[in-house]
Structure 1
């Protein structure tokens, strides 16, 4: 069964290039729409709630601004990722990716995965979170680990 709408979730680092390449291949081979999402995770979530609120709010805006700049550069680098189908949101990655996939009617979510050793570490924490409870198929693209 072909895919019609592919959601690619990226971290906006250079490491996300293979994830975008794989999502593009899928989109082309299925004549599917390609959407992009990046989730800015609250500092308090990332550090277990040990960040003072005033610092967290200041950092939140800085994080969001930096993510928007990186997202804009990524769209310039990959013109097929239009602004119309690019999403930048704030929250818990798993919940936001699942919500967007449902809301947009996506058939598959493409994420990057660091193939760690051992079954328990097969997927990175975000990729693993996205996999569980996803409203559609999930493709984890293995990322090369830097030695």
Structure 2
């Protein structure tokens, strides 16, 4: 049976996040693992096409701040130290791959909506994480 010393749980800060966090916390306790809590904020330019000639820095800063505050609440509730709470900006799958290498993660835990078809089964982010990381990936079914 594999051992997992460090687990990365990637959440999207929606009302579904606790379902993923509960499973991650249980696994971390069972394996006596360190838990790294991660949220990736997509750059505002992606959402608005990147072609708009306007400064979106303030909006990006507000999104980052709100994400850090929400992640801190989850960290407190699930007993994850502030040193193990990461908010980063970029493409979620790319940032998760980077963090896996940087933090020597053994298991990535992500949420999954049970839609039909392999691509839809995991969702685009979970699918991207699965196909680009060198460690195990666990998809938690969102109900």
Q: Do Structure 1 and Structure 2 share a fold, with TM-score over 0.5?
A: yes
- In 2, Cα distance between equivalents of 1:30 and 1:46: 38
Give the C-alpha shift of residue 47 in structure 1. 4.2
- In 1, Cα distance between equivalents of 2:43 and 2:136: 26
2:123 equivalent in structure 1: 124
Provide the alpha-carbon RMSD of the alignment.
1.4
1:64 equivalent in structure 2: 64
Secondary structure at the residue paired with 1:8? strand
Contact 1:43 1:51 in 2 (8 A): no
Spell out, residue by residue over 1:40-84, the C-alpha distance to the aligned partner (whole angstroms, 9 max, x if none): 110222344354441x22211110011111112112222x21111
Q: Give me the TM-score of the superposition, normalised by structure 2.
A: 0.91
Rate the CA distance shift 1:120–1:95 in 2: closer, same or farther, 3 A: closer
- In 1, Cα distance between equivalents of 2:53 and 2:71: 28
Instruction: Could you tell me which runs of 5 or more consecutive residues in structure 1 were left unpaired when the two chains were aligned.
Output: none
Matches within 5 A, 1:1-147: 1-54=2-55, 56-78=56-78, 80-144=79-143
Aligned residues: 142
Contact 2:13 2:71 in 1 (8 A): yes
Segments of 4+ in structure 1 off by > 3 A? Answer: 50-53
Which is worse superposed, 29-38 or 113-122? Answer: 113-122
Instruction: Could you tell me which runs of 5 or more consecutive residues in structure 2 were left unpaired when the two chains were aligned.
Output: none
Rate the CA distance shift 1:134–1:71 in 2: closer, same or farther, 3 A: same
Q: Give me the TM-score of the superposition, normalised by structure 1.
A: 0.89
- In 1, Cα distance between equivalents of 2:137 and 2:117: 20
